[in-house]
Amino acid sequence: MKIYDGVIDWGIKRARDSKMIALGFHSVIDGLVKVDPQKFGNLDLAIPRELSALPDSIKCIDDFWKGLIFSFVNGSALQLMIDSKEVYEWIMKTFGTGTLRLGGTSANMAKGLVPFPFEKILVYVYPLEKEIANLFPNSKNLFVVGKHGLDHPINAYDGEGIEAIHWIFEFSQGQSMTIKGKIYTCPRSNRFIASWNPVNSKLEVRDPFKSYVIEHAQDISHFLVSGFHIMQEIYPDGETVDDRIDKLLEFVMALREKNSRMKFHLEFASIRRDGVRKAVEEKLFSRFDSLGLNEVELSWVARDIGYDEKDILNLDVERISQIISKIMRGNLSRVHFHALGFYLLALKEGYNLESQKKALAFASLAAAQRAMDGEINLERFKYMLDIPEKYDYKEWEEDGIHFILFPTKVVPSPKITVGLGDTISSLGFVLG
């Protein structure tokens, strides 16, 4: 099967022909902390073994430790939002900011797209302060909306400071930690993410970005929306997630009115809070054209609509396609599911199948190369072509939906895995 033939040149040309691509609404600073668990002493806490034993956000210092211990002992990644200013201050005092890095789904997508010859990548950054502006790559096709229109973040920032930070606590396989007098060893290198982001947790679309994109809607071909995982169910001022999602939807509808050809993609990400996740599923799925998610995220969607999440986590393709069929209502005509080793793309009528497949192949090469080297380097894509795929290519129709099971390239010892999903979904969507 020649599914990867000629896709590198094809992808480059396709990027060159693009218009403006907009990314919102979650860009943030990540603070990378390499954990030395020996320094923690003896932690006197019960070990949460199941996700259900965890708080759904961090409200006190014990909640922070529970999340960290869970990740450490089980060797599984976890992200929790911090809801308490006291805990935020305590983490800052205890660990500092760590090494600063650009993070957040929108900024991550921007970083993954700017190395290709796309004409304009426009990213929403709030608050746009000097510290985060300086972390963006120095690319000519990267823009924010500043006071004087489109500009690179470095020329457009307003003020200084770190008002939001997502701490990434990294541990390595073999490190040990003492809990209730017993020594536990970390089974697999992993990370625990504790996020403090009250300034942007309403995902409010602010000026000057808002007026700019409304005014220039005709220039934008694709809009990728993400960041729901930082939202709250109820905000301190009484607003609810439903209120906020309605506002966001108003903005999307206003853009659709200005440019009916603009395509909208929703990147799901790990939305831990039930109320937020359900609001996104119920209010937004049917209003977007495209949706991107991984197996953990789809397992939550499955559970929310009354199915067993285990089938999805076990990568049962029949069940995965069944759940996808169930959620494809209204405008939602494209779902890109990604797992380790394959993508499952579901399309309703009206798509060019050839370019959709090539876009998946290009995304797979990009993810593999980024996993291998840590950052995108187009020159090295060709080496990924030699990696054999482990799944068989398959294409079928069911319930009026066209399914493509696309085998991907998997790098044996990746340098990084964080942010790969964003690269996969964004390239698949904008090139397809």
Give residues in contact with ligand 8BR (CB under 6 A): 294, 338-340, 367-368, 371, 408, 410-411, 414, 417, 420-421, 424
In the complex with ligand 8BR, the residue whose CB is nearer, 202 or 229, is 229
Contact at 8 Å (CB) between 241 and 202? no
Can you read off the two tokens belonging to residue 211? 């007026």
Distance CA 242, CA 300 (A): 19
Query: In sequence order, which residues have a C-beta less than 8 Å from that of residue 76 and are 6 or more positions away?
Result: 70, 188, 190
Query: In sequence order, which residues have a C-beta less than 8 Å from that of residue 390 and are 6 or more positions away?
Result: 341, 407, 410
In the complex with ligand 8BR, the residue whose CB is nearer, 213 or 230, is 230
Residue in this structure with the two tokens 């831990």, named with its chain if needed: 272
Closest distance between ligand 8BR and the C-beta of residue 340, in Å? 5
Closest distance between ligand 8BR and the C-beta of residue 297, in Å? 7
Query: In sequence order, which residues have a C-beta less than 8 Å from that of residue 329 and are 6 or more positions away?
Result: 285, 286
In the complex with ligand 8BR, the residue whose CB is nearer, 141 or 408, is 408
Closest distance between ligand 8BR and the C-beta of residue 363, in Å? 9
In the complex with ligand 8BR, the residue whose CB is nearer, 127 or 407, is 407
- Taking CA atoms, 75 is separated from 34, 54, 66, 186, 311, in Å, by 15, 15, 14, 6, 21
Closest distance between ligand 8BR and the C-beta of residue 293, in Å? 7
Closest distance between ligand 8BR and the C-beta of residue 367, in Å? 4
Q: What is the 8-class DSSP label of residue 46?
A: P
- Taking CA atoms, 345 is separated from 3, 140, 223, 235, 333, in Å, by 14, 32, 19, 36, 10
In the complex with ligand 8BR, the residue whose CB is nearer, 26 or 152, is 26
Q: What is the 8-class DSSP label of residue 23?
A: E
For 393, phi then psi, to 5°, come to -65, 140
Closest distance between ligand 8BR and the C-beta of residue 410, in Å? 4
In the complex with ligand 8BR, the residue whose CB is nearer, 199 or 416, is 416
Closest distance between ligand 8BR and the C-beta of residue 174, in Å? 20
Torsional sign, CA 294, 416, 131, 91 = positive
Can you read off the two tokens belonging to residue 84? 């308490």
**Around 313, how many Cα atoms within 13 Å sit in the side-chain half-sphere?**
8
- DSSP bridge partners of 177: 184
Can you read off the two tokens belonging to residue 194? 């504790």
Torsional sign, CA 141, 146, 149, 155 = negative
Query: In sequence order, which residues have a C-beta less than 8 Å from that of residue 202 and are 6 or more positions away?
Result: 231, 235, 239, 244
Closest distance between ligand 8BR and the C-beta of residue 274, in Å? 20
Q: Which residue is nearest to ligand 8BR (CB)?
A: 421
In the complex with ligand 8BR, the residue whose CB is nearer, 12 or 411, is 411
In the complex with ligand 8BR, the residue whose CB is nearer, 108 or 197, is 108
In the complex with ligand 8BR, the residue whose CB is nearer, 190 or 200, is 190
